[in-house]
Structure 1
Amino acid sequence: MPTSDDRQPPPRFNAARHCLAENARLRGDKTALIIVGEGGAVSRLTYAEAERAVRGIAAGLLDLGLKPGDRVMIRMGNEPDYVLVYFGALAAGLVALPSSPQLTASEAAFLMENAGVAAVVTGDGLAESDAGAPAGCIRLDSRKIAQMKAGEPLADYADTAADDPATLVYTSGTTSRPKGVLHAHRAVWGRRPMHAHWLGLNESDVMLHAGTMNWTYTLGVGITDPWACGATTVLYNGPRDRGVWPRLIAEQGATIFAAVPSVYRQILKYADLGEHDLSRLRHGVTAGEALSSDLLEAWTRATGKPLYEALGMSEISTYVSSGPTIPVRPGSPGRPQPGRRVAILPVEGPFEPLPAGETGLLAIHRTDPGLMLGYWQRPDEEAAVMRGPWFAGGDLASFDADGYLWFHGRNDDLMNAMGYRVSPVEVEGVLAGHPDVAEVGVAELAVRADLRVIAAFVVLRSGVEPDEEALTAWCGERLAAYKAPRAIRFLDALPRTANGKVQRKRLAEAAG
Structure 2
Amino acid sequence: MTNNPWLDQYPEEVPHSYDYPRQNLAKFLVHSATAHPQHIALDFLGKKISYANLLESVYRFANALQSLGVRKGDRIAIMLPNCPQGVIAYYGTLLIGGIVVMTNPLYVPREIEHQLTDSGAKIIVTMDALVERVHKAMERRPLDYTIVTSMKDYLPFPKNVLYPIKAKKDGMAARIEYNERVLSFVSLLKNAADTPVEVSVDPEEDLALIQYTGGTTGFAKGVMLTHMNLVSNTIQAQLWCYRTKIAYEKYLAALPFFHVFGLTVLLNQAMYIAGTLILIPRFQIDDVLKTIHKKKPTVFPGAPTMYIAVIHHPEVGSFDLSSIQICVSGAAPLPLEVQERFEKITGGKLIEGYGLTEASPVTHANNIWEKRKQGSIGIPFPDTLARIVHPETGEELPIGEIGELVVKGPQVMKGYWNRPEENERTLRDGWLFTGDLARMDEEGFFYILDRRKDMIIAGGYNIYPREVEEVLFEHPDVEEAVVAGVKDPYRGENVKAYIVLRKGSNVTEQELKSWCKERLAVYKVPKIYEFRESLPKTLVGKVLRRKLIDEENEKLVNQSKVDL
TM-score range, shorter chain: 0.7 to 0.9
Report which stretch shifted further, 149-158 or 49-58: 149-158
Counterpart selection for 1:190 from 226, 232, 239: 232
Distance in 2 (CA, whole Å) between partners of 1:202 and 1:358 is: 40
Tell me the alpha carbon deviations over residues 207-227 of structure 1, each in whole angstroms, 9 at most, x when there is no partner: 112222322222221211111
Over 3 Å counting, the alpha-carbon distance change for 1:5 and 1:489 in structure 2 is: closer
Q: Which one of the candidate residues 417, 430, 434 is aligned to 1:393?
A: 434
The residue number in structure 2 matching 1:71 is 75
TM-score by length of 2: 0.71
* Structure 2 counterparts to residues 108-123 of structure 1, below 5 A: 108-123=112-127
> Where in structure 1 are there 5+ consecutive unaligned residues?
37-41, 416-442, 460-475, 495-512
**Residue 249 of structure 2 is aligned to residue 176 of structure 1:** no
Structure 2 residue identity aligned to 1:278: L
Kept after mapping to 2: 8 A contact 1:197/1:325: no
For residue 73 of structure 1, give the secondary structure of its aligned residue in structure 2: strand
Instruction: Decide which structure has greater helix share.
Output: 2
CA distance, structure 2, for counterparts of residue 4 and residue 156 of structure 1: 35
Corresponding residue for 1:124? 128
Q: Distance in 2 between matches of 1:312 and 1:96?
A: 20
Q: Deviations over 1:126-176 (max 9, x none)?
A: 142444442353222226322333320353322111121110111135851
How far off is 1:3 after superposition?
5.5
Task: Give the distance between the partners of 2:306 and 2:413, measured in 1 at CA.
Answer: 28
Residue 355 of structure 2 aligns with an amino acid whose one-letter code is: G
User: Residue type matched to 1:25 in 2?
Assistant: T
CA offsets 1:72-111 (integer angstroms, 9 cap, x no match): 1112233210121111111110000011110001110111
TM-score (norm 1): 0.78
> Taking structure 1 as reference, are residues 389 and 96 closer, same or farther at Cα in structure 2, changes over 3 Å only?
closer
Contact residue 103 and residue 480 of structure 1 kept, 8 A: no
CA contact (8 A) 2:301 2:326 kept: no
Q: Shift of the alpha carbon at 1:286?
A: 1.1
Q: Which residue of 1 aligns with 2:424?
A: 383
Paired positions, count = 437
Counterpart-to-counterpart distance in 1, 2:378 and 2:200: 37
Aligned residue for 2:21? 9
Matching residue of 1:145: 185
The DSSP-based 3-state class of the residue aligned with 1:257 is: coil
Contact 1:93 1:166 (8 Å CA) reproduced: yes
Does the 8 A contact of 1:196 with 1:325 survive in 2? no
Q: Matched residues in 2 for 1:77 and 1:116: separation?
A: 22
Residues 412 and 30 of structure 1: CA distance in aligned 2, closer, same or farther (over 3 Å) = same
8 Å CA contact 2:298, 2:324 repeated in 1: yes
Note closer, same or farther for the CA distance 1:453–1:168 as it changes in structure 2 (3 Å cut): farther
CA distance in 2, matches of 1:199, 1:170: 30
Specify which of 61, 66, 84 is matched with residue 65 of structure 2. 61
Matched, 1:89 2:93: yes
Q: Which residue of 1 aligns with 2:296?
A: 253
Q: Which amino acid aligns with 2:103?
A: S
Secondary structure at the counterpart of residue 217 of structure 1: helix
State the shift of 1:5 in Å. 7.2
Which residue in the other structure is 2:387 paired with? 343
Among 312, 317, 338, the alignment partner of 2:355 is 312
Further displaced range: 212-221 or 183-192:
212-221
2:373 maps to which of 324, 329, 332:
329
Distance 1:350 1:282, change over 3 A: closer
Shift in CA distance, 265/2, structure 1 to aligned 2, threshold 3 Å: closer
Distance in 2 (CA, whole Å) between partners of 1:70 and 1:414 is 40
CA distance in 1, matches of 2:347, 2:14: 30
Match 2:274 to one of 230, 233, 237: 230
- State the distance in 1 between where 2:216 and 2:129 align: 32
- 3-state DSSP of counterpart to 2:198: coil
Contact 2:322 2:347 in 1 (8 A): no
Gaps of 5+ in 2: 1-12, 150-182, 457-464, 474-479, 489-535, 558-564
Equivalents in 1 of 2:36, 2:260: separation in Å?
26
Gap change, CA 1:271 and 1:168, over 3 Å in 2: farther
Q: 1:271 and 1:307 mapped to 2: Cα distance?
A: 21
Greater Cα radius of gyration, structure 1 or 2: 2
1:24 matched to 2:21: no
Deviation at 1:346, TM superposition (A): 2.3
Partner of 2:255: 211
Relative distance call for 1:154 and 1:270 in structure 2 (3 A) is same
Distance verdict in 2 for CA 1:201–1:408, change over 3 Å: same
CA contact (8 A) 1:15 1:90 kept: yes
Matched, 1:404 2:445: yes
Distance 1:129 1:260, change over 3 A: closer
One-letter amino acid of the structure 2 residue matched with residue 258 of structure 1: P
Q: Which residue number in structure 2 is paired with residue 34 of structure 1?
A: 43
Is 1:292 aligned with 2:332?
no
Q: State the distance in 2 between where 1:268 and 1:33 align.
A: 27
Assess, with a 3 A threshold, how the Cα gap between structure 1 residues 313 and 50 changes in structure 2: closer, same or farther. same
- 2: distance between equivalents of 1:93 and 1:284? 32
Aligned residue identity for 1:232: T
Deviation larger for 184-193 or 450-459: 450-459
Q: State the AA in 1 paired with 2:256.
A: T
2:97 maps to amino acid: G
| CA deviation string 1:15-69 (max 9, x = no partner) | 012x211111110100011122xxxxx1121111111111111111111111211
Secondary structure, aligned partner of 2:288 = helix
Secondary structure in structure 1 of the residue aligned to 2:375: coil
Considering only aligned residues, what root-mean-square deviation do their CA atoms show, in Å? Answer: 3.2
Cα distance, 1:315 vs. partner? 0.8
- Judge conservation of contact 2:125–2:146 (CA < 8 Å) in 1: yes
Which residue identity does 1:227 align to in structure 2?
M
